Amino acid sequence: MANLQTERENLKYLRLLSEKFPTAAEAATEIMNLKAIMSLPKGTEYFLADIHGEYEAFIHVLKNASGSIREKVNDLFSTTMSKEEIDDLCTLIYYPKEIIALKKKEFGIAENQRSAEFDTWSLTAITQLIKVCRKAGAKYTRSKVRKALPSQYSYIMLELMHENSSDSNKSEYLQSLYDAILESTEAEDIIVAFAETVQKLVIDHLHIIGDVFDRGPGAEIIMDRLLTYHHLDIQWGNHDMLWMGAANGNLACIANVVRISLRYANLNTLQNGYGINLLPLSLLASEVYKDDDCAPFWPKMGKGGSETYDDKSALLVAKMHKAISIIQFKLEYELIKAHPEYNMESRNLLHTIADKDCPTVTSSAPYQLTEQESEVIRKLAVCFKKSYKLQKHIDFMYQKGSLYLCCNNNLLFHASIPMNEDKSFRQVLVPSESKGKWETYCGKALYDKIDETVRRARKEFKKANKNMGRESTAELNTDLIDYFWYLWCGPDSPQFDKSAMTTFERYFNEDKATHHEEKGYYYKYRVEESVCVDVLKEFGLQGPDAHIINGHVPVKAIKGELPVKADGKLMVIDGGFSRAYQSSTGIAGYTLIFNSQGLHIVKHSPFTSIESAIKNHDDIVSSSVVRSHSSHRMRVRDTDTGKLLKMQADDLQMLLDAYRQGLIQERG
């Protein structure tokens, strides 16, 4: 009976499938297509972590594919072109619109005008770009390459890429195509299209292992770029979680976001990027700290900082920095008091500085917000909630993001798996669906529960905003919104996992021993292969080609530390993308590249600027750190996508058999 039911359900499914493939020939053709795709080498994955707002370096790394494009250009032209010519071609691929504008200026021609010199340069550029595009797309199907092309030029670009000019029967045809391109003044758009297609084909999939936000000057620019990227995912870092909490209305998260922006002299992201009005905070700071030099709060400028100010402006930033820090400590006290589950009472330290250069911190009520402080945080909260661009970016974080990802036998997460001293997975409290109730989870179950909780919190926030002013929101589970702050800095948070975030001590205690943040046991044990194998097994991954990929803790390459640990089972790819870390890492970040041959980590030199890259060909120099070859050359069939394709091929084979056996009638 059960078998009969299964057969009926299978037949019902096959009939639905037959609507897309109505004949045996169409089903057979698609099977052949899928099997051919599965035999191709896997696409190249790129992994970046801890970008921290460094938008110029990030955008350039995407454009030059961490040096991979230059490698392809060298392979093609090293014997026929000079180094200067190769530099010119690489820069054209990275910044085609800007280079075209410079060339037109050089040739003295205006918009939509032609000259013999510009036509000659354009034709040379197109023929060179065609060769690079062919090489970049060599391991993909023609269909996939076509999808990477801009629709308005896909036909003519495919013709140029796949026709052979040495064929006497086609040489006149190709010459006519080139002449038509030049005469129609479409050459500029064709050059841009080929350059951008090369960039797309070289990076098949992008993984961001956390921390897009904070420190650097352009997190909003990075998010805008990611919004349009062809294929990516994000694993949330603790700084991302902080911004997610702020966008969802968590007041302590908002204060932290503003404080960090002021600490790194990065007001542009808040004010110009997201429209956050800092005037109320500025007025409070100017009044309360008018005679205070606010020395510990002086913004980090120049090295590691985002912007430079004159002394008067920098002093105002310092005063604002101090004002929001005091507000932050008061707000955090309220969260800690409301949630004994956090076990963070030791972080309430503001009373120790009562009446010491902090007029709003009194010995009688050190943690009480003044009326003016309350009004400042209220107005900031309105700005964060009403910022269209911020809310759009956070929605994208939810759409493309998660706490962890298992992809092609790699386990991606930002920071840590909370562990005990005996190497077992630590039980951690997480708020439940019912307000005031908490449950414990560990290992993979902990990650799954936190991911679910963070998503429910977003729904709670949107529900509260929708109902605001129309009905009571008292029944909403505020534990969920509060929990964002714990994920940012809580001792058992998988995205932090340190004894404490010693922000207070760094401001008010000169003894650097008090600044120490003791890392959780995961950071101690993750150098052991057996521990990494256990973690991978917990998430359902195993075998010689399974790896953990983390960020969060900068690798101090300057001291000889390597990003590969645990006999190759773990890769930590935070190499100091943020300028704030480069003095301690000695480099400017890592890219992990995963292609059909295996894993390859490259380290980057510091980036000057996009302007210098365009004018002076200042590329980011990327050099190999380590290569880890797979046990066999990976094909599409070996990937997660390949497994799905095989299932589709198997289903189509059943449909084909049903056609041949007469169980389903062909149509058309």
Greatest mean pLDDT among 57-61, 180-184, 245-249 lies in 245-249
Indicate if 360 and 270 belong to the same structural domain. yes
Indicate if 383 and 441 belong to the same structural domain. yes
Indicate if 508 and 444 belong to the same structural domain. yes
pLDDT above 50 for 362:
yes
Strand order, beta sheet including 570-572: 404-407, 410-413, 547-550, 570-572, 564-565
The pLDDT of 302-310, averaged and rounded, is 64
How many C-alpha atoms does 277 have within 13 Å on its Cβ side?
A: 14
**pLDDT bracket for residue 174 (50, 70, 90):** confident
Helix, coil or strand: residue 491: coil
Residue spans of alpha helices (H) in 108-167: 116-136, 142-148, 154-162
- Residue 372, in any domain of the structure: yes
- Residue 551, in any domain of the structure: no
Indicate if 378 and 231 belong to the same structural domain. yes
Indicate if 195 and 224 belong to the same structural domain. no
- Residue 484, in any domain of the structure: yes
Distance of CA 10 to the CA centre of its chain: 41
pLDDT above 80 for 303:
no
The pLDDT of 187-206, averaged and rounded, is 93
**pLDDT bracket for residue 445 (50, 70, 90):** very high
In this structure, the chain runs to a length of 668
The pLDDT of 262-270, averaged and rounded, is 94
Give pLDDT, residue 168: 67
* Cβ-proximal residues to 456 (8 Å cutoff; 6+ apart), any chain: 433, 477, 480
Range of the structural domain that residue 79 is part of: 66-202
Distance CA 519, CA 499 (A): 6
pLDDT above 60 for 406:
yes
Give pLDDT, residue 139: 87
Which of 472, 494, 513 is the endpoint of a domain?
A: 513
Looking at residue 79, its amino acid is T
Tokens of 383: 């700005």
- Residue 98, in any domain of the structure: yes
Give pLDDT, residue 184: 80
- Residue 574, in any domain of the structure: no
User: How far from each other are the two terminal CA atoms of the chain, in whole angstroms?
Assistant: 35
Indicate if 246 and 339 belong to the same structural domain. yes
Write out pLDDT tens, residues 555-586.
999 999 999 999 999 999 998 888 888 888 88
The CA distances from residue 444 to 451, 513, 538, 540, 553, in Å, are 11, 34, 6, 9, 21
DSSP 368: P
pLDDT above 60 for 501:
yes
Indicate if 377 and 484 belong to the same structural domain. yes
**pLDDT bracket for residue 472 (50, 70, 90):** very low
Which of 496, 513, 530 is the endpoint of a domain?
A: 513
Give pLDDT, residue 494: 96
How many C-alpha atoms does 408 have within 13 Å on its Cβ side?
A: 23
CA angle 589, 591, 592 (to 5 degrees): 140
Indicate if 198 and 304 belong to the same structural domain. no
Q: How many domains does the chain have?
A: 3
**pLDDT bracket for residue 9 (50, 70, 90):** confident
pLDDT above 60 for 54:
yes
Indicate if 128 and 239 belong to the same structural domain. no
- Residue 644, in any domain of the structure: yes
Q: Which residues pair with 547 in a beta bridge?
A: 410
The CA distances from residue 487 to 6, 117, 237, 454, in Å, are 46, 59, 9, 10
Say which residue, 20 or 357, is predicted with more confidence. Answer: 20
> Among candidates 664, 577, 570, 578, which has minimal Cα distance to 626?
570
**pLDDT bracket for residue 473 (50, 70, 90):** very low
- Residue 77, in any domain of the structure: yes
Say which residue, 152 or 219, is predicted with more confidence. Answer: 219
Distance of CA 459 to the CA centre of its chain: 23
Distance CA 645, CA 637 (A): 8
Indicate if 342 and 484 belong to the same structural domain. yes
pLDDT above 90 for 412:
yes
Percent of the chain with pLDDT over 70: 95
Give pLDDT, residue 468: 58
Indicate if 188 and 224 belong to the same structural domain. no
Looking at residue 545, its amino acid is D
Write out pLDDT tens, residues 593-611.
998 888 899 988 888 888 8
pLDDT above 50 for 177:
yes
Which of 480, 513, 546 is the endpoint of a domain?
A: 513
Backbone angles phi, psi at 594, to 5 degrees: -120, 105
- Among 26-30, 323-327, 578-582, the range scoring the smallest mean pLDDT is 578-582
The CA distances from residue 414 to 123, 236, 336, 409, in Å, are 46, 7, 25, 17
Q: Which residues pair with 599 in a beta bridge?
A: 594, 628
Write out pLDDT tens, residues 513-560.
999 999 999 999 999 999 999 999 999 999 988 999 999 999 999 999
- Residue 552, in any domain of the structure: no
Q: Which residues pair with 498 in a beta bridge?
A: 519
**pLDDT bracket for residue 114 (50, 70, 90):** confident
Indicate if 380 and 323 belong to the same structural domain. yes
